[in-house]
Every structure is written in structure tokens, then in C-alpha cells.
Amino acid sequence: MSRDTILTIELPVAPGRLAPYQVREPGKFERPARPFTRRAYAAAHVVADPWSLREPWLEAAVDWDATIAFRKHLWSWGLGVAEAMDTAQRGMGLDWAASLELARRTIDASKDVPGAVVATGAGTDQLAPDSRVKLGHIIGAYEEQCTAIERLGGRIVLMASRALAACASSADDYGRVYDHILSQVKEPVIIHWLGEMFDPALAGYWGHGDQTAAMDVCIDVVKRNAAKVDGIKVSLLDKEKEIAMRRRLPAGVRMYTGDDFNFAELIAGDGEAHSDALLGIFDVIAPAASTALSALAGNDHATYHEVLAPTVPLSRHIFRAPTRFYKTGLVFMAWLNGHQPHFVMVGGQQSARHILHFAELFRLADAAGLLADPELACRRMRQLITVHGMT
């Protein structure tokens, strides 16, 4: 079979129709030769164990070796790993016990990798999101998780709490919980404000349905506890709100963009300030992100934008509504690129997107030069199309 034949694939373009698509050569990305001028974390996905006999909708089965190997891939590109976050299906298939085991294994693995950085999500997912839960229970759940992560030697990302969103009666309740937890942590944490587009159970977080009013509450918490806050990760997919909030942060507190729609321009900055990064899309675009961040560190803004520009349409497609299903796109890409031998997810969430979504994702990844082995990617894409009964 000729290379031209191998690299031509019939992809779905509309219901009931396939069309030929010619795959490009992969991009040429280089591992960092100098430290980045931005802090950059990739929120990493977990690899499911397809051989497990556990019922996938009821109990997570993780392939620990493949999961840790993927973290080593991210570290090799100079990125930090944000562990046990929503990207790892935290609270959406992965419970606290499995998350703690994941944190332990990742922190242990990082010790053998020079320069490896890990930050781990601490939340309240031992508790059901129920209005009958009391604030004391939420504080206790946060304390348990923060203590467990600190005992592992880990850094903390203080995740938004579904239970707090369900039971809080006012913005003051958020202040009480966050003030208490931040007063006790050993090292400065990253606060994570996850918008309802990522998790509908977090609607009205900080005690307000209006995000501008919610921002006021969050900023007040940060200002009162600035010595215990490294930064805040904002995942609202709204660059103007992120910039406005960034301008209001106390000196020394970082803005970590969680905007997978507008990350390139937010990280580049506006001449006045810039955002650092804690992004799910970096799970997919690690080689491009690393190359671009290296260019930025060398003050080569043209190369930075040239490398990242084609990744933005890819990211916007992966994170399109319903945004909470973005994890499916990340795992799909990891499978196409050979980081795992299967397209199976914790909770069976490989079924969360349709085949036309995957076909467009394939094309956009190719346009960004992110199909590392085009022959492998084509072979696996053909398998998926066949499974869907389209050949």
C-alpha cells in the first residue's frame, strides 16, 4: 500500500455521507531549551482500564501505568501537571478515593523527573451535593482532602464544591468556608472557579447567578487571604471577564487562565498584564503549547502566535457545548496519537460525542500538526468509523 493511500481517509462530512480527506505531515515541535516566562499546567486526563470487570458507569477502573506514562509525556514538554481535576473526570466518574491514589502515584512519579511540577485538586466530593449538607461538613471535607494532599507533599488546587453550591444560602457562606480553609493550608493554593458550562451543578457559585457579582465575592476572598493564594484559575470561557478580574487581583496573585477558547491571547497578554495557564487543552496540544511558550520566552511573539493559532479552532471544537463532555475529545486524541491502546473512558464517556464531532476533531488536529503519527491516526480513525457502521 502506498503512503498516499495510507494517508487518505474517508471521513464523515454529513449524515449518510463520507468524503476523502488527505492528511498532512505532522508539525515540527521542539522541547523547551529555556524556562518558560509563564507558569503552565496541563490538566491531565486518566486512562481507563478496558480489561476491568467493574461496571464502567458505577466504579472507575484506571490503567495506572498508562496514566502515569501520559504525565511523563506532559513533563517532557516542560508543562506542569494539574492532577485529579475535572479533566481527570473528578466527580464525573472518578471519586475521592481514586483521586487520592492518582495524586499519590503522580507525585511519586514526579520525584524521578527533574523539574516536574504537580498541583492536585482538593475538593469536597466525599459529600453529595445536597441542600441538607451543613457548612461544617463542607469545611471538614475540604480539610480532609487538603491534609491528605499535603501529607503526600503535594501542592493544592482548591476546587469548587458542588456541595457548597447546593447548600450555601448567601455569598457570606462562601467567604466563611474559603476563609477557614485558606487559614489552615501550609502553602499558597490555586483557587479554581469552574463555570456552570463545565459543571451545571456549580451554577450560582460564590452566591450569585450574575458572574460579575460573583467575581466581587471571589476577589474579596482572595484579598483577605492573599498570602495563602498563589493564584486563581478562572474557567468561564469569557476573556473580558478574565481580564477584568486579572486587573483586580492583589500584587503577587496570579491569574491562571482556564479559558480554552481564548487562551492564546490571554497568555500573550495585553501589554499591561498576562495570564498564566492551567488548561485542559494542554493535555492535547502539549507539543505545540511548549514550542509556543518557548518562543514567547525568547520574545518571539510571531512564532508564538503562528504555532498556537491553529490550535485555537481545535480547542473551541473540543470544548464546544455541552462543554462538560470535552474530556471525550482529549481521550480521543490521546488514542489517535498512541498514548493509549484504546478509546475507552471512565464512566463510559467515550459515547458522549457523535461521530461527526470526532471527524471534525480529526481534521482540526491535523490542521494544527498534532497528529504525531498520521498512519496510526488514520488506522484508528478508520476503526472508529467502522464500529459506527459507516463502511
In 3D, which of 64, 43, 37, 44 has the Cα closest to residue 52?
Answer: 64
Query: pTM of the predicted model, to two decimals?
Result: 0.96
The letter for the amino acid at 363 is R
102 CB-near residues (< 8 Å, 6+ apart) = 46, 62, 67, 83, 84, 88, 94
Q: What is the pLDDT of residues 168-196, one digit of tens each?
A: 999 999 999 999 999 999 999 999 999 99
36-316: in CATH 3.20.20.70: yes
Q: Where are the domains of the chain?
A: 36-316
Q: What is the pLDDT of residues 204-215, one digit of tens each?
A: 999 999 999 999
**Interhelix angle 96-110/135-151, nearest 10 degrees:** 30
What does DSSP assign to residue 24?
P
Per DSSP, the residues of 185-248 read -SS-EEEEEE-TTT-GGGTTGGG-SSHHHHHHHHHHHHHHTGGGEEEEEEESS-HHHHHHHHHH
Question: For residues 105 and 100, what is the distance between their CA atoms, to the nearest angstrom?
Answer: 9
Locate cell 469552574: which residue?
A: 194
First to last CA, the chain: 19
Helix, strand, or coil here: 13? strand
Q: What is the pLDDT of residues 221-265, one digit of tens each?
A: 999 999 999 999 999 999 999 999 999 999 999 999 999 999 999
Q: What is the mean pLDDT of the chain?
A: 96
Q: What is the pLDDT of residue 1?
A: 37
The phi, psi pair for 11, rounded to 5°, reads -115, 145
pLDDT of 387 higher than 70 = yes
In 3D, which of 188, 122, 130 has the Cα closest to residue 159?
Answer: 122
